[in-house]
Amino acid sequence: MTSAPAPAPLVLGIESSCDETGVALVRGSALLGHAVASSVEEHVRFGGVVPEIASRAHLEALLPTLRRACEEAGATLADVDAVAVTAGPGLAGALLVGVAAAKALALGLDVPLLGVNHLVAHVAVDVLVSGALPERSVALLVSGGHTELLDVSSPAGQGVGALRVELLGQTLDDAAGEAFDKVARLLGLPYPGGPHVQRAAEGGDPAAYAFPRGLTAAHDLRRHPYDFSFSGLKTAVARQVEAHRRAGGEVDGAFVADVAASFSEAVADVLARKTVTAALDRGVGTVLLGGGVAANARVRGLLAERCEAAGLELRVPPLRLCTDNGAMVAALGALALADGLGPSPLDLATDPGLPVSTVVV
């Protein structure tokens, strides 16, 4: 008689690199429990994430969020077989809260600790949706804190130990989400700006203003084929708003709609253009999209259109898994554990600038 194979280990994932406190429980590629607390409301009056406020909010939210995730999974801490946590990149103080909690849990429960890379976790979350990572892919990560284009290679059956992640390009100034937030402010819309800009853009003409597409001129493409720059675009919007005011116009109605639509078009165009070029240059068949800006209908729509035209498969996880969360951390932790990686030392240091090539610290 053969006995049933042992179930995959239950991995607890903790995320605290920016303004979302995320905790989740994952077994293999199954997401069992998932809770997120966001401090976004506390940053509204400052128009952007204030690191000190974010750190304090993580401290307050961590245990209640942990409790919610366990309840949803129908599990107790005694069931946890390993603790994975974001070790970087991210805000220094915010990272410390999650890592300190993860160390205490790993020590108290006598289970392995895995300090993982936040950006790679955004890619690994696809395991919870698709069951396995594509063998080769280009990932576009766009949020309020980061904008990266990654080349990901994950040879089938070789585990996360064979996972190679290469940074192809990143923003030289503002992150894509940050650009949405700053443009929202110029248009008199609340923080976080992305959803408001999207709503305003709905009735607007995307061709009303020919806003610049950063780093797409021939000479820029030679030096920065896969890098992004959104500060010129933001300045162009500011100039348009200024000129409109000088001419006696109000910043409202059709003007806001046209600027929002033209701005969104410029962001979506650059993101889609560089991502598709990278995938074709690298001979990769799959594109992964992650980060809060994946919520943007025009970004998703244009990327989908251009991927289809280029014969590329586009994978976009459900939105709750695109924004920062504990499930992506647990998913990467589970892959690492299955592959015999780690454990990380209990004196694991946080690294706000952790390079994307380091999957597990």
Residues that bind ligand KG4 (CB under 6 A): 18-19, 143-145, 177-178, 180-181, 192-195, 198, 291-293, 295-296, 323-324
Q: Which stretch binds Zn ion (CB under 5 A): 137-145, 229-237, 244-252, 309-317?
A: 137-145
Binding-site size, Zn ion (CB under 5 A): 2
Q: Which does 170 bind (CB under 5 to 8 A by kind): ligand KG4, Zn ion, none?
A: none
The answer to whether the beta carbons of residues 77 and 110 sit under 8 Å apart is no
Give the distance, in angstroms, between the CA of residue 100 and the centroid of all CA atoms in the same chain: 22
Query: How far apart are CB 300 and ligand KG4 at their closest, in Å?
Result: 9
Query: How far apart are CB 148 and ligand KG4 at their closest, in Å?
Result: 12
Q: Is 143 in the site for Zn ion (CB under 5 A)?
A: yes
CA distance 62 to 261: 38
CA distance 261 to 272: 16
CA distance 126 to 83: 20
CA distance 193 to 292: 11
- Between 144 and 326, whose beta carbon lies closer to ligand KG4? 144
Handedness of CA 100, 101, 106, 108 (dihedral sign): positive
Q: Which does 258 bind (CB under 5 to 8 A by kind): ligand KG4, Zn ion, none?
A: none
Backbone angles phi, psi at 194, to 5 degrees: -45, -60
Q: Which does 28 bind (CB under 5 to 8 A by kind): ligand KG4, Zn ion, none?
A: none
- Between 18 and 105, whose beta carbon lies closer to ligand KG4? 18
- Between 177 and 206, whose beta carbon lies closer to Zn ion? 177
Query: How far apart are CB 301 and Zn ion at their closest, in Å?
Result: 22
Residue with tokens 């000129």: 243
- Between 39 and 143, whose beta carbon lies closer to Zn ion? 143
Q: Which does 180 bind (CB under 5 to 8 A by kind): ligand KG4, Zn ion, none?
A: ligand KG4
Q: Which does 169 bind (CB under 5 to 8 A by kind): Zn ion, ligand KG4, none?
A: none
Per CB under 5 A, contacts with Zn ion among 291-350 are 324
Query: How far apart are CB 21 and ligand KG4 at their closest, in Å?
Result: 11
CA distance 113 to 333: 9
The answer to whether the beta carbons of residues 208 and 259 sit under 8 Å apart is yes
* 44: three-class secondary structure by DSSP: helix
Residue among 271, 276, 297, 273 at smallest CA distance from 286: 276
Q: Which does 19 bind (CB under 5 to 8 A by kind): ligand KG4, Zn ion, none?
A: ligand KG4
- Between 258 and 324, whose beta carbon lies closer to Zn ion? 324
Report the residue closest to Zn ion, judged by CB. 324
CA distance 21 to 98: 8
* 304: three-class secondary structure by DSSP: helix
Residue with tokens 């994978």: 315
* 330: three-class secondary structure by DSSP: helix
Backbone angles phi, psi at 70, to 5 degrees: -65, -45
- Between 41 and 281, whose beta carbon lies closer to ligand KG4? 41
Query: How far apart are CB 135 and ligand KG4 at their closest, in Å?
Result: 26
CA distance 80 to 71: 13
- Between 11 and 18, whose beta carbon lies closer to Zn ion? 18
CA distance 53 to 63: 17
- Between 80 and 133, whose beta carbon lies closer to Zn ion? 133
Query: How far apart are CB 111 and ligand KG4 at their closest, in Å?
Result: 28
Which residues would be at the binding site for Zn ion (CB under 5 A)? 143, 324
